[in-house]
Structure 1
Protein backbone atom coordinates (compact mmCIF):
# COMPACT_ATOMS: atom_id res chain seq x y z
CA UNK A 1 0.00 0.00 0.00
CA UNK A 2 1.31 3.43 -0.96
CA UNK A 3 1.67 6.04 1.77
CA UNK A 4 -0.59 9.06 1.28
CA UNK A 5 1.12 12.12 -0.20
CA UNK A 6 2.11 14.69 2.37
CA UNK A 7 0.57 18.08 1.80
CA UNK A 8 3.28 20.57 2.72
CA UNK A 9 1.14 23.68 3.17
CA UNK A 10 4.15 26.00 3.33
CA UNK A 11 4.90 25.03 -0.29
CA UNK A 12 1.33 24.53 -1.53
CA UNK A 13 0.58 27.52 -3.76
CA UNK A 14 -3.23 27.65 -3.36
CA UNK A 15 -2.84 27.68 0.42
CA UNK A 16 -0.13 30.36 0.37
CA UNK A 17 -2.11 32.59 -2.00
CA UNK A 18 -5.27 32.18 0.07
CA UNK A 19 -3.53 33.06 3.34
CA UNK A 20 -1.82 36.08 1.79
CA UNK A 21 -5.07 37.24 0.20
CA UNK A 22 -6.90 36.93 3.52
CA UNK A 23 -4.20 38.91 5.33
CA UNK A 24 -4.09 41.68 2.75
CA UNK A 25 -7.89 41.88 2.43
CA UNK A 26 -8.26 41.96 6.21
CA UNK A 27 -5.76 44.78 6.55
CA UNK A 28 -7.48 46.89 3.89
CA UNK A 29 -10.89 46.04 5.36
CA UNK A 30 -10.04 48.00 8.48
CA UNK A 31 -10.16 51.16 6.33
CA UNK A 32 -13.78 50.69 5.27
CA UNK A 33 -15.43 48.21 7.60
CA UNK A 34 -15.91 50.37 10.67
CA UNK A 35 -16.45 53.70 8.95
CA UNK A 36 -18.85 52.48 6.27
CA UNK A 37 -20.07 49.15 7.73
CA UNK A 38 -18.90 47.30 4.64
CA UNK A 39 -17.74 43.72 4.42
CA UNK A 40 -14.98 42.58 2.09
CA UNK A 41 -17.46 41.31 -0.51
CA UNK A 42 -19.40 44.58 -0.48
CA UNK A 43 -16.21 46.61 -0.90
CA UNK A 44 -15.13 44.42 -3.81
CA UNK A 45 -18.49 45.00 -5.51
CA UNK A 46 -18.09 48.76 -5.00
CA UNK A 47 -14.49 48.66 -6.23
CA UNK A 48 -15.39 46.75 -9.40
CA UNK A 49 -18.37 48.97 -10.20
CA UNK A 50 -16.26 52.05 -9.47
CA UNK A 51 -13.88 50.90 -12.19
CA UNK A 52 -16.39 49.17 -14.50
CA UNK A 53 -19.90 50.63 -14.22
CA UNK A 54 -22.96 49.02 -15.78
CA UNK A 55 -22.12 45.39 -15.06
CA UNK A 56 -24.65 42.74 -14.12
CA UNK A 57 -24.26 40.97 -10.79
CA UNK A 58 -23.06 37.89 -12.69
CA UNK A 59 -20.39 39.95 -14.43
CA UNK A 60 -19.25 41.35 -11.07
CA UNK A 61 -18.98 37.78 -9.76
CA UNK A 62 -17.01 36.78 -12.84
CA UNK A 63 -14.57 39.72 -12.59
CA UNK A 64 -13.92 39.08 -8.90
CA UNK A 65 -14.01 35.27 -9.03
CA UNK A 66 -16.35 35.44 -6.04
CA UNK A 67 -19.30 33.14 -5.43
CA UNK A 68 -22.44 34.34 -7.25
CA UNK A 69 -24.56 33.92 -4.13
CA UNK A 70 -22.15 36.02 -2.04
CA UNK A 71 -22.15 38.73 -4.72
CA UNK A 72 -25.96 38.66 -4.94
CA UNK A 73 -26.23 39.10 -1.17
CA UNK A 74 -23.71 41.95 -1.20
CA UNK A 75 -25.55 43.63 -4.08
CA UNK A 76 -28.86 43.32 -2.20
CA UNK A 77 -27.33 44.93 0.91
CA UNK A 78 -25.75 47.71 -1.13
CA UNK A 79 -29.01 48.39 -3.00
CA UNK A 80 -30.93 48.49 0.28
CA UNK A 81 -28.37 50.89 1.76
CA UNK A 82 -28.66 53.17 -1.28
CA UNK A 83 -25.06 52.59 -2.35
CA UNK A 84 -25.92 51.01 -5.71
CA UNK A 85 -28.46 51.67 -8.41
CA UNK A 86 -29.97 48.98 -10.65
CA UNK A 87 -31.10 49.92 -14.13
CA UNK A 88 -32.19 48.13 -17.26
CA UNK A 89 -29.56 47.87 -19.97
CA UNK A 90 -30.49 50.21 -22.82
CA UNK A 91 -29.37 47.70 -25.47
CA UNK A 92 -30.93 44.61 -23.86
CA UNK A 93 -34.07 45.34 -21.82
CA UNK A 94 -33.90 41.86 -20.24
CA UNK A 95 -30.53 42.60 -18.64
CA UNK A 96 -30.18 44.67 -15.47
CA UNK A 97 -26.98 46.55 -14.77
CA UNK A 98 -25.52 48.00 -11.60
CA UNK A 99 -23.73 51.24 -10.97
CA UNK A 100 -22.66 53.18 -7.93
CA UNK A 101 -25.17 55.64 -6.52
CA UNK A 102 -23.84 59.03 -5.40
CA UNK A 103 -23.43 57.54 -1.89
CA UNK A 104 -21.56 54.54 -3.30
CA UNK A 105 -19.35 56.80 -5.42
CA UNK A 106 -18.51 58.87 -2.33
CA UNK A 107 -17.40 55.70 -0.51
CA UNK A 108 -15.34 54.58 -3.50
CA UNK A 109 -13.72 58.00 -3.81
CA UNK A 110 -12.79 57.99 -0.12
CA UNK A 111 -11.59 54.39 0.20
CA UNK A 112 -9.71 54.02 -3.11
CA UNK A 113 -6.85 56.38 -2.15
CA UNK A 114 -6.41 54.48 1.14
CA UNK A 115 -6.30 51.17 -0.76
CA UNK A 116 -3.70 52.57 -3.16
CA UNK A 117 -1.62 53.91 -0.27
CA UNK A 118 -1.81 50.50 1.40
CA UNK A 119 -0.57 48.84 -1.79
CA UNK A 120 2.26 51.37 -2.02
CA UNK A 121 3.34 50.59 1.56
CA UNK A 122 3.03 46.84 0.94
CA UNK A 123 5.23 46.97 -2.15
CA UNK A 124 7.67 49.60 -0.85
CA UNK A 125 10.24 46.95 0.08
CA UNK A 126 10.47 45.73 -3.51
CA UNK A 127 12.43 47.42 -6.23
CA UNK A 128 10.59 48.27 -9.49
CA UNK A 129 11.90 45.16 -11.26
CA UNK A 130 10.59 42.91 -8.47
CA UNK A 131 7.18 44.61 -8.58
CA UNK A 132 7.01 44.20 -12.36
CA UNK A 133 8.02 40.54 -12.03
CA UNK A 134 5.38 39.96 -9.33
CA UNK A 135 2.61 41.29 -11.55
CA UNK A 136 3.88 39.36 -14.58
CA UNK A 137 3.90 36.16 -12.51
CA UNK A 138 0.40 36.84 -11.19
CA UNK A 139 -0.83 37.42 -14.74
CA UNK A 140 0.87 34.20 -15.86
CA UNK A 141 -0.68 32.19 -13.00
CA UNK A 142 -4.07 33.63 -13.94
CA UNK A 143 -3.55 32.56 -17.57
CA UNK A 144 -2.45 29.08 -16.52
CA UNK A 145 -5.41 28.68 -14.16
CA UNK A 146 -7.84 29.74 -16.88
CA UNK A 147 -6.25 27.29 -19.28
CA UNK A 148 -6.39 24.47 -16.71
CA UNK A 149 -10.05 25.32 -16.08
CA UNK A 150 -10.79 25.21 -19.83
CA UNK A 151 -8.91 21.92 -20.22
CA UNK A 152 -11.01 20.39 -17.45
CA UNK A 153 -14.31 21.14 -19.21
CA UNK A 154 -16.01 18.14 -20.81
CA UNK A 155 -16.13 18.15 -24.59
Structure 2
Protein backbone atom coordinates (compact mmCIF):
# COMPACT_ATOMS: atom_id res chain seq x y z
CA UNK A 1 0.00 0.00 0.00
CA UNK A 2 1.62 3.27 -1.08
CA UNK A 3 1.34 6.55 0.83
CA UNK A 4 -0.79 8.18 -1.86
CA UNK A 5 -3.26 5.27 -2.02
CA UNK A 6 -4.07 4.70 1.63
CA UNK A 7 -7.21 2.63 2.09
CA UNK A 8 -8.46 2.20 5.61
CA UNK A 9 -10.06 -1.16 4.80
CA UNK A 10 -6.58 -2.51 3.89
CA UNK A 11 -4.84 -1.07 6.97
CA UNK A 12 -3.90 -3.92 9.32
CA UNK A 13 -4.64 -2.11 12.62
CA UNK A 14 -8.10 -1.25 11.28
CA UNK A 15 -8.72 -4.83 10.12
CA UNK A 16 -7.65 -6.21 13.50
CA UNK A 17 -9.84 -3.69 15.33
CA UNK A 18 -12.90 -4.47 13.19
CA UNK A 19 -12.39 -8.22 13.57
CA UNK A 20 -11.90 -7.84 17.32
CA UNK A 21 -15.03 -5.72 17.65
CA UNK A 22 -17.10 -8.20 15.65
CA UNK A 23 -15.91 -11.14 17.76
CA UNK A 24 -16.36 -9.18 21.01
CA UNK A 25 -19.88 -8.16 20.02
CA UNK A 26 -20.79 -11.77 19.23
CA UNK A 27 -19.44 -12.95 22.56
CA UNK A 28 -20.97 -10.02 24.46
CA UNK A 29 -24.46 -10.90 23.22
CA UNK A 30 -24.09 -14.53 24.27
CA UNK A 31 -22.65 -13.77 27.73
CA UNK A 32 -25.13 -10.98 28.40
CA UNK A 33 -28.14 -13.02 27.31
CA UNK A 34 -27.14 -16.10 29.29
CA UNK A 35 -25.42 -14.61 32.36
CA UNK A 36 -25.90 -10.84 32.39
CA UNK A 37 -22.14 -10.32 31.97
CA UNK A 38 -20.29 -7.71 29.96
CA UNK A 39 -17.16 -8.75 28.06
CA UNK A 40 -14.88 -7.01 30.56
CA UNK A 41 -16.50 -8.90 33.43
CA UNK A 42 -16.13 -12.20 31.59
CA UNK A 43 -12.47 -11.49 30.80
CA UNK A 44 -11.74 -10.87 34.47
CA UNK A 45 -13.67 -14.03 35.43
CA UNK A 46 -11.85 -16.07 32.81
CA UNK A 47 -8.45 -14.85 34.01
CA UNK A 48 -9.31 -15.56 37.65
CA UNK A 49 -10.67 -18.96 36.65
CA UNK A 50 -7.41 -19.76 34.85
CA UNK A 51 -4.86 -18.16 37.15
CA UNK A 52 -6.53 -18.07 40.56
CA UNK A 53 -6.37 -15.04 42.85
CA UNK A 54 -4.77 -11.95 41.30
CA UNK A 55 -4.38 -8.28 42.17
CA UNK A 56 -6.14 -5.71 40.01
CA UNK A 57 -2.73 -4.61 38.72
CA UNK A 58 -2.01 -8.21 37.64
CA UNK A 59 -5.46 -8.46 36.04
CA UNK A 60 -4.81 -5.25 34.11
CA UNK A 61 -1.45 -6.54 32.86
CA UNK A 62 -2.71 -10.01 31.94
CA UNK A 63 -5.92 -8.89 30.19
CA UNK A 64 -4.39 -5.80 28.53
CA UNK A 65 -7.50 -3.90 29.58
CA UNK A 66 -7.64 -0.36 30.94
CA UNK A 67 -7.30 -0.26 34.73
CA UNK A 68 -10.60 1.62 35.07
CA UNK A 69 -12.40 -1.11 33.09
CA UNK A 70 -10.78 -3.79 35.26
CA UNK A 71 -11.77 -1.90 38.42
CA UNK A 72 -15.40 -1.61 37.27
CA UNK A 73 -15.55 -5.27 36.28
CA UNK A 74 -14.13 -6.31 39.66
CA UNK A 75 -16.71 -4.20 41.50
CA UNK A 76 -19.57 -5.73 39.51
CA UNK A 77 -18.29 -9.25 40.11
CA UNK A 78 -18.02 -8.52 43.83
CA UNK A 79 -21.52 -6.99 43.96
CA UNK A 80 -22.90 -10.11 42.27
CA UNK A 81 -20.99 -12.35 44.72
CA UNK A 82 -19.01 -13.87 41.85
CA UNK A 83 -15.67 -12.66 43.22
CA UNK A 84 -14.27 -11.59 46.58
CA UNK A 85 -11.33 -9.55 47.83
CA UNK A 86 -8.64 -11.18 49.92
CA UNK A 87 -5.75 -9.51 51.77
CA UNK A 88 -2.45 -9.40 49.90
CA UNK A 89 0.19 -10.66 52.33
CA UNK A 90 2.98 -9.28 50.10
CA UNK A 91 1.55 -5.76 49.79
CA UNK A 92 -0.88 -4.37 52.35
CA UNK A 93 -1.86 -1.55 49.97
CA UNK A 94 -3.48 -3.97 47.51
CA UNK A 95 -5.65 -7.05 47.64
CA UNK A 96 -6.24 -10.19 45.64
CA UNK A 97 -9.47 -10.89 43.81
CA UNK A 98 -10.67 -14.48 43.69
CA UNK A 99 -13.75 -16.20 42.30
CA UNK A 100 -16.33 -17.28 44.86
CA UNK A 101 -18.12 -20.63 44.69
CA UNK A 102 -20.83 -18.95 42.62
CA UNK A 103 -18.14 -17.43 40.40
CA UNK A 104 -16.50 -20.80 39.82
CA UNK A 105 -19.91 -22.33 39.05
CA UNK A 106 -20.69 -19.62 36.48
CA UNK A 107 -17.20 -19.91 35.00
CA UNK A 108 -17.78 -23.65 34.55
CA UNK A 109 -20.99 -22.90 32.63
CA UNK A 110 -19.43 -20.21 30.46
CA UNK A 111 -16.35 -22.15 29.35
CA UNK A 112 -18.28 -24.62 27.14
CA UNK A 113 -20.20 -21.70 25.62
CA UNK A 114 -16.94 -19.86 24.92
CA UNK A 115 -15.46 -22.94 23.27
CA UNK A 116 -18.58 -23.37 21.13
CA UNK A 117 -18.44 -19.75 19.96
CA UNK A 118 -14.73 -20.12 19.20
CA UNK A 119 -15.37 -23.30 17.21
CA UNK A 120 -18.07 -21.56 15.15
CA UNK A 121 -15.78 -18.61 14.44
CA UNK A 122 -12.92 -20.88 13.35
CA UNK A 123 -15.13 -23.34 11.44
CA UNK A 124 -14.20 -21.99 7.98
CA UNK A 125 -10.50 -22.61 8.68
CA UNK A 126 -8.75 -25.97 8.48
CA UNK A 127 -6.83 -27.20 11.53
CA UNK A 128 -3.58 -26.16 9.83
CA UNK A 129 -4.98 -22.69 9.05
CA UNK A 130 -6.15 -22.30 12.65
CA UNK A 131 -2.68 -23.18 13.92
CA UNK A 132 -1.09 -20.72 11.49
CA UNK A 133 -3.64 -18.01 12.38
CA UNK A 134 -2.87 -18.34 16.09
CA UNK A 135 0.87 -18.25 15.40
CA UNK A 136 0.52 -15.12 13.25
CA UNK A 137 -1.60 -13.37 15.89
CA UNK A 138 1.04 -14.18 18.51
CA UNK A 139 3.77 -12.75 16.29
CA UNK A 140 1.81 -9.56 15.62
CA UNK A 141 1.02 -9.14 19.33
CA UNK A 142 4.70 -9.61 20.25
CA UNK A 143 5.81 -7.16 17.57
CA UNK A 144 3.32 -4.59 18.84
CA UNK A 145 4.45 -4.92 22.47
Normalising by structure 1, what TM-score?
A: 0.85
Structure number with larger C-alpha Rg: 1
Q: Using the alignment, how far apart are the partners of 1:82 and 1:5 within structure 2?
A: 55
Deviation at 1:133, TM superposition (A): 0.7
> Helix, strand or coil: the match of 2:132?
helix
Deviation at 1:73, TM superposition (A): 0.9
Deviation at 1:87, TM superposition (A): 0.4
Runs of 4+ in 1 over 2 A off after TM superposition: 4-7, 89-95
Give the equivalent residue in structure 2 for 1:137. Answer: 136
Q: What pairs up with 1:32-111 in 2 under 5 angstroms?
A: 32-111=31-110
Segment of structure 1 superposing worse, 67-76 or 5-14: 5-14
Deviation at 1:123, TM superposition (A): 1.1
Give the equivalent residue in structure 1 for 2:127. Answer: 128
Q: Using the alignment, how far apart are the partners of 1:88 and 1:5 within structure 2?
A: 57
Structure 2 alignment gaps of length 5 or more: none
| Alignment RMSD | 1.6
> Helix, strand or coil: the match of 2:81?
coil
Structure 1 alignment gaps of length 5 or more: 147-155
